[in-house]
A and B are shown apart, each in its own frame.
Chain A
Amino acid sequence: MRYGMAIDLKRCVGCNSCTMVCRMENGTPPGILYNRVEKYEIGKYPAARMQFRPIPCMHCQEPACLKVCPTGATYQRDDGIVLIDHEKCMGCRYCVLACPYEARQFLGKIDNYFGPETITPWETVKHQELDKGTTVKCTFCVRRLERGREPACVETCPAQARYFGDLDDPESEVSKIIAFQGGTVLKEELGTRPSVYYVNV
């Protein structure tokens, strides 16, 4: 069993629903986003267009972050998900530098959305789950997986551009999409072996 994701770039319309649902799911403060959507323009007028690429954590099979972590806070589960034990993380940020996908961020401070003097009830609840002084990132929504759900970004996407499942099972939807549509990974040459594939690039 190895969890993985496929993102169909032909379907993606760059709406950032995934980024917003991820914020809601994880309670990240301003400046911290576990998912981002990169936007580009290609071509020259009039043969120009926009392109979009959503980027979560790649949950690499050979994670660069894990290699540099001095405390063993970053670890990899049997199902491939790469997580951070916030008790062990000392915030050295080697992993933030090491990740070639810029998927990690250091939670140096926890600002409020409406300024220093007011914190919304939602933030009061969600801040309890945040560990200031540690590094944070996408977890493939492990708590949702435990409840039999899929990651929030996968479920909310209006274009239904994301697939999630077991990459070790050739019959799973995500495996089939990658096989039949020729899924590729980012920065393959670095040998990180991401678990997030892109199709229709």
Chain B
Amino acid sequence: MKKAKEVTGHTQKTTSWGKSLPAASAYQWKAVDPAEKGKSLTLYGICGQCMQSDCTTLIHLEDGVVVSVEGNPTSPPNYGSLCPRGNSQIMNLYNPYRVKTPLVRTNPEKGLDVDPMWKEVSWDEALNIIVEKFKKIREKDPRGLLILEGFGNTNSILRDSFARAFGTPNVIGSHGPLCTIHYASCLVHSALPEAVAEMEYCEYLLSFGRSLGPNFATTGGIRRFTKAMERGMKLVVIDPHCSVEASKGEWIPIRPGSDLACLLAMAHVMLNEGLPYDEWFMKNRTNAPYLINSEGNYYRDPATGKPMIWDAADNCARTFDSEFKDIAMNGTYTVNGVACRTAFDLIREEFARYTPEWAEKICTVPAKTIRRLATEFVEHAKIGSTIKIDDFVFPFRPASVNTHRGVNCHRGGTYADLTGKIMNMLVGNIEVPGGCLGNSMRGPLMAPDKDGIVKPQFEADPFPFKFPPDNIDGHEFYPNKHTTPHLAINAIMNPEKYHIGYKIEAWLNFGGNVIRKNAQPERYVEAMKKVPFIVSFAYHIDEPTILADVVLPEHSAMERSLVSVLYPSHQTTGGEVIGFDTVRVRQPVPNLFDTRHCDDIYTEIAERVGFLCGAGGVYDYLNQQKHHALIDDGFYLGNQKLDINRKHSLDEIYDRQMKSWSRGDGRGLEELNKDGFFLHPRSRKEYYTYYFFPENKTRHPFYFESLKKTGETLRANLRMHNLKFPGIENEEYIWEQYRPIPCWIENSEINAPPEYDLWVVNWKSPYCPHDSGNPNGNPWLAELYQQDPFDFTIFLNSATAKKKGLKDRDWITVESRYGKTEGIMRVTELIHPDAVGIPGSYGLGTIQSNPIFREGTHFNALLSLDDKTLDAIAAGQELSPRVKVYKSEAKR
């Protein structure tokens, strides 16, 4: 047995937090309050140990000390189970490296290895410093405040209103550019944040570049996965790495970053090699039969402006919303003298070149396998079958292809995502049982626009072009972007290049760590050092916080009150997490240190600066809450609006949210505190959004006309303002990604110099999938990840290692054209020979972090901020740069 290695290095060598502060490792905990002696208490909890923050818990205290946390046995989504992070969350609470009191920097020099020489101050003093700066910025130009957020701040209900009331448009999410998975799902079926498979009915799942639950040990994901596999679901995992999920299903190794080729070829097989497709769905629920003119636009009826379809029985074109005897999927027709072709024909023709033999050369998946998987996918989809859910008859299509960040985060990645949708549409599985579904928001989302197509919403709805830009997030140039800290940082470093005519004067960091978790960390440090004033709502002294001027310590998850509605799904859905709506409460553990709730901090700052109350204040915006992530099916004060002229407690706001909730029964926080959660049954048929626009009541885009239009609009806007696209020499490089039919796109790494002979690939660690809940710094998890043979190491295929003369346990450097990192190597069979595998995100850290943060391999250091490497649509970053590996000396 491998003995558990003792985790070393927990004693900080030197620290100088301030004369009155002891070193973190010598922290003396407060004695238990004598009033708590002999008391046993159980609190209702909501776990905060991953980005989802949705499992419910029971927190047990004895004598005022949290002694155990268990899953709430009857509450969804976890029904009593917890993941390894949920089970170790006590060490998130009792972490001596936490910030315990507000801090102010006294050393003007900044750096990850530079002691800020913190001075401990009172909340009043810290807030006044911030308020003074914020008042000036708000008066001069509120755009000067950049708020950097991430998954760590999702428990805040005021964050969006605070930004709006302050008047800054610059809210930048750290958590997006390596996970641009939204555009295609938003466009095709108004699904946000993403599309997933349903574990209750799916019989065949093609999982590309993603996880379903077990890979990163999510409680709900594992629960649903286990049941689906036992039911006999066939799982095919296309992944450079043989993950946990690949180990349970069929593993199809693929070269990193080449999934677009594989998907184009699979769609080719479905379109051009005689496989059946769902004719009814394609004719009645997509724009595949729409007539397209020679410019590639819809041919429009001169009388009504509507797109048209050819009726093959009556030999004439009719508007799409007419009655048809026989909708033509194929053919060239002349309408009012205009030559038109069906969109379906155009797409088939375009895909004819993407043969499996062509794809095999690029992605290394054998042509035979590509054909087999496409054929199996169609067979298992059971085209034409139906299923009754409650009293409603749905099409039943128990096959789904789901792509995610491993596929999408490359130049051309949006086309890969859209090609997956093409495959799904050909079998008619969109938003029906067994098929490809959105997660989280449900309801009548797929209303058609004037052309009869699902109206583009959320990230499929392009941002308007404003010049000069107000927003530093680059949305003028990437109108369908996801989150863009990389563009913001590029703009801070080079405002002229990105057409930014103002300066960022302050950076409020809360809930995200762009320095460690994005790319080229040294550039992020450089950019942040350019900002005159940085505030961090901090849990510990992480990379952004050590660069801060003022640090405000916020509650850890267990100490943070919360009322939330469950988004049921994430990586998968179905079964025990649908058929109801539920609201639950987190009753806070008394805070250990002089920390505050993030929303109390926001309230205080807003009040002192002068935008909490009154018209245009925080409460006014909260009353008008529109942010999709905060609405939760009507959890937004509906008929319980706040009096905008006085201050409100969080509990009061939660109570009103509950009482106005359209899914609730009018009960409020007082009752919720008794039971912990409320469960309201809901007909299961409402989960599948097909239900709200069935039959021929809406159509999904199969020919991506709106993508083409967005590109044309962008091009016209650039010309109108005489602008070059920032960072791009030849604009065709951008326009070729705005075509209505996906095509092959070379990503930035395909033509890298041959010395970079491998592709790096990252996957989530089951111990540390995100920074939410500080798993990297949790000593229980660290004890496991440091000794796990499949974590905290660099994977290299055995044949590749042999060729390079590298041996198991060698210390190696991995170097891309953008950065380098290092660590211990593992020789393995579990990875593609062309890949270097680096799980998790370890390494970097600061001189005031838990020293364990400095250990491990820092994958993100290999990635790039260069505009030329991005996907033009979603601004996703290149997730698998080409690298070289070589033996090196361990510096530590």
Contacts and interface: CB of A to CB of B under 8 A. Distances in A.
Interface in B261-307: none
A115 B766 contact: no
Contact of A21 (B82, B97, B781): B82
A30 B783 contact: yes
Given A120-B29, A122-B94, A45 B798 contact: yes
B776 to A, nearest CB: 14
A155 B219 CA distance: 13
A158 B78 CA distance: 8
A127 to B, nearest CB: 12
A32 B4 contact: yes
B25 interface: yes
B82 A156 contact: yes
B88 A50 contact: no
Interface stretch (B59-67, B482-490, B606-614): B59-67
Contact of A156 (B24, B87, B90): B87
B68 A50 contact: no
Q: Which of A32, A116, A158 has most B Cβ within 10 Å?
A: A158
B87 A17 contact: yes
B84 A17 contact: yes
Contact of A41 (B82, B87, B829): B829
Interface in B57-103: 62-63, 65-71, 78, 80-88, 90-91, 94-97
A20 B89 CA distance: 10
A122 B25 contact: no
Interface string B231-267: 0000000000011101110010100000000000000
B808 to A, nearest CB: 12
A13 B67 contact: no
A38 B788 CA distance: 9
A113 B11 CA distance: 10
B37 to A, nearest CB: 12
Interface in A1-24: 10-11, 13-17, 19-21, 23-24
Interface residues of B, number: 79
A118 B25 contact: yes
B324 interface: no
Interface in A109-136: 111, 113-122, 124-126
A93 interface: no
Nearest to B67: A125
Contact of A49 (B220, B230, B242, B781): B242
Given A11-B226, A19-B84, A20-B87, A114 B25 contact: yes
B3 interface: yes
B828 to A, nearest CB: 6
Contacts of B222: 13, 15, 158-159
Given A24-B87, A30-B6, A160-B226, A118 B26 contact: yes
B248 A48 contact: no
Contacts of B80: 155-156
Nearest to B798: A45
A144 B242 CA distance: 38
B799 A31 contact: no
B762 to A, nearest CB: 17
A187 interface: no
Contacts of B10: 113-115
Interface string B1-17: 10110110011000000
A43 B829 contact: yes
Contact of B217 (A13, A21, A45, A161): A13
B45 to A, nearest CB: 14
B828 A41 contact: yes
A159 B83 CA distance: 10
A120 B27 CA distance: 9
A38 B67 CA distance: 28
A160 B832 CA distance: 32
Contacts of A193: none
A51 B797 CA distance: 18
Interface string A92-117: 00000000001000000001011111
A187 to B, nearest CB: 13
Interface string A65-105: 00000000000000000000000000000000000001000
Contact of A15 (B6, B84, B91): B84
Contacts of B1: 36, 38, 102
Q: Which of B78, B80, B832 has most A Cβ within 10 Å?
A: B80
A35 B372 CA distance: 42
Nearest to A48: B829
Contacts of B95: 114
A115 B25 contact: yes
Contacts of A17: 81-84, 86-87, 217, 219
Contact of B6 (A10, A31, A48, A159): A31
Contact of A117 (B26, B90, B828): B26
A113 B91 contact: yes
B67 A122 contact: yes
A24 B214 contact: no
B32 interface: yes
A160 to B, nearest CB: 6
A147 interface: no
A80 B642 CA distance: 62
Contacts of A32: 4
Nearest to B788: A39
A156 B70 contact: yes
B784 A30 contact: no
A148 interface: no
Nearest to B6: A31
A25 interface: yes
A118 B96 contact: yes
B4 A30 contact: yes
Nearest to B779: A113
B830 A48 contact: yes
B26 A20 contact: no
Nearest to B64: A121
Contacts of A120: 29, 91, 94, 96
Contact of B223 (A10, A33, A41, A159): A159
A36 B87 CA distance: 15
B512 interface: no
A117 B29 CA distance: 11
Interface of A: 10-11, 13-17, 19-21, 23-25, 30-33, 36, 38-39, 41, 43-46, 48-51, 102, 111, 113-122, 124-126, 152, 155-161
26 contacts: A10-B230, A10-B248, A13-B217, A17-B81, A17-B83, A17-B219, A19-B84, A24-B88, A30-B779, A41-B830, A45-B253, A45-B833, A50-B243, A111-B6, A115-B10, A117-B11, A120-B91, A120-B94, A121-B29, A121-B94, A124-B29, A125-B65, A155-B80, A156-B71, A158-B217, A158-B220
Given A114-B96, A120-B96, A160-B81, 5 more contacts: A13-B214, A13-B225, A48-B829, A122-B91, A126-B67
Interface of B: 1, 3-4, 6-7, 10-11, 23-29, 32, 62-63, 65-71, 78, 80-88, 90-91, 94-97, 214, 217-220, 222-223, 225-226, 229-230, 242-244, 246-248, 251, 253, 766-767, 779-781, 783-784, 788-790, 797-799, 828-833, 850
| Leading 3 A-B pairs by shortest Cβ distance | A48-B829, A20-B87, A158-B222
